[in-house]
Structure 1
Amino acid sequence: MSETAIIGLGAMGMGMAQNIMRAGIALKGYDVYGPTRQGFANAGGIACDTAEEAAQGCSLLVLMVVNIDQANAALFDDGAAKALAPGATVMLSSTVAPSDAREMGGKLAGMGLHLLDAPVSGGQVGAEAGTLTIMAAGSGDAFQRAGAVLDACAKTVHALGDEPGMGSTYKVVHQLAAGVHIAVAAELMSLGAKAGCDPDKLFEIVTTSAGNSWMLENRGPRMMQDDPPVSSSVEIFIKDLSLVLQTGKEAGVPLPLAAQSFQLFQSASALGHGKADDSMVVRAYEAMMNYKIKGTS
C-alpha cells in the first residue's frame, strides 16, 4: 500500500508526481478533474476518486493546488487530514500567504500532524525535470518524512527553519521580484517598439547588457508572439502579487512597484488574457499605446 499521496495534478503537480514515481515511490493521487486522474493512472499512479481516499493511511501528503482555499478544502472539508496516518506530514507546495501557512500548521498540529511549508520555484519545466527549487520550513520529523520526495522533485532544497510560514515568506518575496521583472520586461519592449526600435534587436541588446533579467530572457520572445504556449498564466501572477501585497500589509512595508505590477496583470486579465501566458501582461501596454509589438522570430 502506498504511504505517499499527492492532491493537485495540474501542470506542476503532474510533473512532481512523475518524478516521485520515477524515484520508485508508490504514489496515490487525486485531482478534481477526471481526465487528469486518468492521465495520472496511465502514468503509473494510483488514482483516487476523493481527497480523503488519496490520503487514507498515508504518512506523507503533498498538496500542489492553486491556492489556500483549495488546500484547506482538501484537508479539512473533504477529510484528507483526518484520513492520514497518526503523526503524518503534509507537504504544502502551493504558493500561499505566510500567515495562511502558519494557520494551517497550527490546525494540523492540533490534530497531531506535521506541516512542511514547502513552496516551489521553477515552473512546469522544473517540475517535469525534477529540478525545482524548494523553500521549506518545518519540524525535523517533517523534513525526514518528506526527504525522498524532496530529492525526487528538487535540484535545490533550502531548509529555512522549523516554523511553518517561513518557506512561504521566502517564496512570496521571490514572487515580488518575478512579477515586477515580467512587468518591466513588458514595459521596456513596449517603449522600444513604439519608439522605433526593432523588437528582436532590442531584445538582443538588452539581454547581452547590464539591463538583462532572467524574466526578460525567458518571457521577452513570447511577448513578440501572437499566442504563446502557457507556462504560467496571468491569473497566477494576479494571485501571487496579491499575496505579496497582503504580506507587505501585514509586515507594514510599502510596495509601490508590486502594486503597480499587480494592476498591470489585472488590466491584462480584464482585456481577456487571464488564462494566457503571463508574458501577455504586455497586452495591457499594447492596449494603452494602441500599438502591437511584433518580432520576426
Structure 2
Amino acid sequence: MTIRSIAVIGLGAMGLPMAARLAAGGFEVRGFDPVDQRRQLATAAGVRPADSIRTAADGADCVLLAVRDGAQAEQALFGPDGAEPALHPGTAVIVTSTIGAAAVGALAAAVAERGALFVDAPVSGGPRRAGEGDLLVVVGAPDAAIEGVRPVLDRLASTLTIVGPRPGDGQLLKTINQLLAGVHIAAAAEAIALARGAGLEPGVVVEALSTGAAGSFMLQDRGPRMLEALTGDPEVRSRVDIFVKDMALVAGLAAETHVPTPLAAAAGQLYLLAERAGLGAHDDSTVVTLLTGGAARTPEPDENRGERR
C-alpha cells in the first residue's frame, strides 16, 4: 500500500506535533480535535483541520489515533461520528496512544473484521521530540502491516522497536516504559522537595544532579518545570491525569502477571493524590507541590486534548 493521506485524530500535546511533522514530510494530513483552539494551531502548522472525525478520515489511507485512553480510541473508530466508514481493505489504523494491551487487542480484532490493517505503535518522547521526529515508537503488528505504514513510522521515530507480531505487544512494552517514567518523575519530585526542605537551592540541585550518576531524563526534563511549579504553573506538556491512567495500566499488568511492583504502586498513589488535589489537568511536574506543602491549583476544565507523555 502507498500512504499519501493521513487522518490524525487528537491534536493534543503529542498529536499536534506529530501531525505537523507528517505534513512537513509530504503527507496530506487532515486533523481533528474537539477543541477549536487545537484545530486553529493545526492550521498554522500546515495541517488541514476537519470539523469531525468522520470528515478527517473520509478517503484517508491511514487513520492515526493520538487520543487519551481506550474509551476515546473506541469512540474515534466506532462511535457515532467514528472513522469506521472509512475503514476498508488497504486502509491502515495506527494507535500511538497508551491504552493497554487488552483495549488494543479488541480494537485490532474489530478493525481486522473490516479488512483494514492495524498497527499498535505507542510513542514516547514528549511534544518537542514529536515535532522533530525523534520519538521512541514501540510496535506490535504483523510484518505486512508494519511495512504498509513504515513511511509514517519512520517519519515520527528516531528509534523504532518491533516488539512482536501481536497488536498489544507494543502496549506491553510501553506500559513498562511508563512504569519507569512514572517512578522517575516521582523520585525527582521527592529529591527536589527534600533539597528544599533541607534549605538547599532547588535550581542548583537540579542542575548538579542532572549531569551525575543520579541523573535521569525525567530529572532533566521535569526538574526545571518542577522549579516553576514551586512558584506558579508550568506549561502543560504532560498532564497528571495521564499518569493516573498509565500507572493504573502498570498496576493491572502487575496484578495479571503476579509481579510485585511496590515502587510503581507508591508513584501511582502520588498521581492519584495530585489528581484529588485538583491537579489532574495540570502538568505532571506539579506533583512536587504535594511534597513541599504548596497550595493546590484551581482545577482547569477538561478540554479532551488527547494523549500526553
Show the counterpart of 1:48.
50
Show the counterpart of 1:284.
290
Whether contact under 8 Å (1:59, 1:85) holds in the other structure is no
Find out whether 1:200 has 2:206 as its counterpart.
no
Structure 1 stretches of 4+ moved >4 Å: none
Show the counterpart of 1:293.
none
Show the counterpart of 1:70.
72
Larger CA deviation: 257-266 vs 106-115:
106-115
Larger CA deviation: 173-182 vs 128-137:
128-137
Name the CA shift for 1:82/1:22 in 2 (closer, same or farther; >3 Å).
same
Q: Name the SS of the counterpart of 1:27 in structure 2.
A: strand
Q: Identity over aligned residues, as a percent?
A: 40
Taking the TM superposition and a 5 Å limit, the aligned residue runs for 1:118-133 are 118-133=121-136
Q: Name the SS of the counterpart of 1:280 in structure 2.
A: helix
Deviations 1:153-181 (A, max 9, x none): 11111112211001111111000000101
Q: Name the SS of the counterpart of 1:144 in structure 2.
A: helix
TM-score relative to the length of structure 2? 0.87
Q: Which fold has the larger relative contact order, with Cα–Cα distance below 8 Å and residues 6 or more apart in sequence? A: 2
Name the CA shift for 1:273/1:144 in 2 (closer, same or farther; >3 Å).
same
TM-score relative to the length of structure 1? 0.91
Name the CA shift for 1:46/1:217 in 2 (closer, same or farther; >3 Å).
closer
Name the CA shift for 1:6/1:205 in 2 (closer, same or farther; >3 Å).
closer
Deviations 1:52-110 (A, max 9, x none): 22222322110011111111001011331232232321000011111111121112112
Show the counterpart of 1:93.
96
C-alpha distance in structure 2 between counterparts of 1:79 and 1:193, whole Å: 49
Show the counterpart of 2:113.
110
C-alpha distance in structure 2 between counterparts of 1:217 and 1:38, whole Å: 31
C-alpha distance in structure 2 between counterparts of 1:254 and 1:126, whole Å: 32
C-alpha distance in structure 2 between counterparts of 1:201 and 1:42, whole Å: 38
Name the CA shift for 1:33/1:204 in 2 (closer, same or farther; >3 Å).
closer
C-alpha distance in structure 2 between counterparts of 1:42 and 1:217, whole Å: 30
C-alpha distance in structure 2 between counterparts of 1:150 and 1:204, whole Å: 34
Whether contact under 8 Å (2:11, 2:31) holds in the other structure is yes
* Matched positions, count: 289
Structure 2 gap ranges (5+): 296-309
C-alpha distance in structure 2 between counterparts of 1:13 and 1:287, whole Å: 34
Show the counterpart of 1:20.
22
Show the counterpart of 2:267.
261
Name the CA shift for 1:36/1:221 in 2 (closer, same or farther; >3 Å).
closer
Name the CA shift for 1:44/1:220 in 2 (closer, same or farther; >3 Å).
closer
Find out whether 1:239 has 2:241 as its counterpart.
no
Q: Shift in Å at residue 2 of structure 1?
A: 5.7
Structure whose alpha-carbon radius of gyration is higher:
1
Show the counterpart of 2:173.
170
C-alpha distance in structure 2 between counterparts of 1:22 and 1:206, whole Å: 37
Show the counterpart of 1:273.
279
C-alpha distance in structure 2 between counterparts of 1:146 and 1:275, whole Å: 33
Larger CA deviation: 155-164 vs 140-149:
140-149
Whether contact under 8 Å (1:20, 1:152) holds in the other structure is yes
Whether contact under 8 Å (1:12, 1:127) holds in the other structure is yes
Q: Shift in Å at residue 44 of structure 1?
A: 3.1
Deviations 1:185-217 (A, max 9, x none): 111221222123332333344333322222112
Larger CA deviation: 33-42 vs 103-112:
33-42
Larger CA deviation: 124-133 vs 187-196:
187-196
Structure 1 gap ranges (5+): 291-297
Q: Name the SS of the counterpart of 2:73 in structure 1.
A: helix
Name the CA shift for 1:206/1:151 in 2 (closer, same or farther; >3 Å).
same
Q: Name the SS of the counterpart of 1:160 in structure 2.
A: strand
Whether contact under 8 Å (2:143, 2:165) holds in the other structure is yes
